[in-house]
A = this chain, B = another copy of it.
Amino acid sequence: MALIVHKYGGTSMGSTERIANVAKRVAKWARAGHQMVVVPSAMSGETNRLLGLAKELAPEKLTDACLREMDMLASTGEQVSVGLLSLALQAEGVPAVSYAGWQVPIKTSNAYTKARIESIDEERVRRDLAAGKVVIITGFQGVDADGNITTLGRGGSDTSAVAVAAALKASECLIYTDVDGVYTTDPRVAPKARRMQTVSFEEMLEMASLGSKVLQIRSVEFAGKYKVPVRVLSSFTPWDIDINEEARSGTLITFEEDEKMEKALVSGIAFSRDEAKISVLGVPDKPGIAYQILGAVAAANIEVDVIIQNLSKDGKTDFSFTVHRNDHARALDLLKNEVLPRLGEAQVVSDTHICKVSIVGIGMRSHVGVAAKMFQTLSEEGINIQMISTSEIKTSVVIDEKYMELAVRTLHRAFGLDQTASSPA
């Protein structure tokens, strides 16, 4: 018997029929003797419907007072969900009680539409759990110090669930999603991609920020900070699947590098096709040059990813970076019209046909030669590396986008990630 948190997304809550199925699944866990807390999202489409109504009436320029009302509106979606799920559980004969964020309370900052959770009072929830009730808490929302309703922004229900699990010191937080776990890479690119049984939260952070959109990155940060074991698993399995099988399914995000963790140096291959490369060539190699170039880009609210500065030669250096492909034209304009005129003979070249491929693995920390093996593997396939960027548990390269699938599949095989008959997953 354990204290377990379940989180269900909008698709799982998308109709009364689906909500009835969620209730049956939760009831199964409760009947197995677990103390259950459930954090559902709004029914799919509901948040958009509400914000659509708001858009028809709101002024063009949204003030803080307007954002406050947006949160009043949007928070009702989850309140409907918790009420319905509680009724469905009671129809199953399972005692249940629902709470809006303010009733727990889940206290947040007052940054409407993107508030951060500050504290969760566990007392009321514990009392209900002790009384044998399933406790259902609205995702996505809380209340600020002045009693105003706040929301956490899109995907905030993941964060709510992890935060509730942290506050209650839950044994595990199960996030039911439309994928059955975290994969070594995207199976659509590398058909031999394998579901990981476990992944460290640091790897998960790198994977998430590199495009594996399984979990909101903030929820992963939260899980890391409070060491909440989080399991990502499929909401598409039948509700009456054997509970022990269900409890082992999906991917567990862990915080301990213990024996149970997979021993691979590299855990997964991430990639992104959304970037463009911009190079400023022949700039004077003197202090402040990076700021002159990147400061202007940042001031225009353009996010920069990989940044490389080459060794200087004859007092000149080359400077390259990547931006989101949507920002490419704007960044280029900015450099040509505002930055270059101050840099003498420098010139700008750019390339939108690039991609970024990364190997991610907590094992890289303690092993040398992992990056070298990556470079060798790509070289053997004749793939030219344009840029390299490394962090403690990740090595990224920028290459021509036409080689992306080849690079991902080759690296996946080279680092021993391919699915085999004896694969544990």
Contact = CB atoms under 8 A, between A and B. Distances in A.
Contact of A79 (B63, B76, B91): B76
A196 interface: no
Contacts of A20: 57
A56 B149 CA distance: 29
Given A72-B82, A73-B80, A87 B66 contact: yes
B53 A84 contact: yes
A83 B70 contact: yes
A57 B100 contact: no
Given A58-B90, A103-B147, A73 B84 contact: yes
Given A53-B80, A57-B16, A79-B76, A87 B102 contact: no
A235 interface: no
A54 B80 CA distance: 9
A84 B70 CA distance: 8
11 contacts: A16-B57, A23-B57, A50-B80, A57-B88, A58-B88, A65-B86, A66-B87, A70-B83, A72-B79, A72-B100, A103-B147
A84 B131 CA distance: 39
Contacts of A80: 50, 53, 73, 76
A19 interface: yes
Given A72-B82, A72-B100, 17 more contacts: A20-B57, A54-B83, A54-B87, A57-B88, A57-B91, A58-B91, A59-B90, A59-B91, A65-B86, A65-B90, A69-B90, A72-B79, A72-B83, A72-B98, A73-B79, A75-B79, A100-B149
